[in-house]
Amino acid sequence: MNVDRILIDTSVWIEYLRNRSSNFSNKVDEILSKEEVYVPKIVIAELIQGAKSEREVSIIRDFLEAFNIIDQTEDTWFKAGDLSFNLKKKGKIVNLTDCYIAVIAQENSCRIFTFDEHFKDIQKSLPISLINH
């Protein structure tokens, strides 16, 4: 069996944590059970930032301990800045965080599972693979 490396973006985690009984949650559960899930530290920070209580922060910390936490290389932020700059030259404004997530996914050979449409613009400038939801 070939296992994929999947980077799950903040937008997907938020939907998953809010609606645990939806068809979408079943798809995420299937990915969680069959694939290697990778989570960049910046996604953890975004989830904690959006938490509504100390209890939610605790749940996020415990929940994410089950996955592969990834961090940047020496050049990740430089690559993200270059990507953002090149997209801007093409008339596409993409926030730096999304550029960073795309670069770190590429560095770790991960497909990206996201709801954020900016990743389709990024995909035209950086060879990344997206999961259709």
Q: What is the pLDDT of residue 78?
A: 97
Q: Over 31-55, what HEC string results?
A: HHHHCEEEEEHHHHHHHHHCCCCHH
Give the other-Cβ count within 10 Å of 28's Cβ: 22
Kind and range of the H or E element at 68?
Answer: strand 68-70
pLDDT tens, position by position, 89-132: 999 999 999 999 999 999 999 999 999 999 999 999 999 999 97
As a whole number of angstroms, the distance between CA 94 and CA 98 comes to 7
**φ, ψ (nearest 5 deg) of residue 24:** -60, -45
What is the architecture, at CATH level 2, of domain 5-125? 3-Layer(aba) Sandwich (3.40)
**pTM, to two decimals:** 0.87
pLDDT tens, position by position, 5-53: 999 999 998 888 887 667 788 888 888 888 889 999 899 999 999 988 9
Collapse the DSSP code of 125 into the 3-class scheme (helix H, G, I; strand E, B; otherwise coil) and give the result.
coil
Residue reference for tokens 């008339």: 91
pLDDT tens, position by position, 48-71: 999 889 988 888 888 777 888 898
- In 3-state terms the chain splits into helix, strand, coil percentages (rounded to 5) of 55, 15, 30
List the chain domain ranges: 5-125
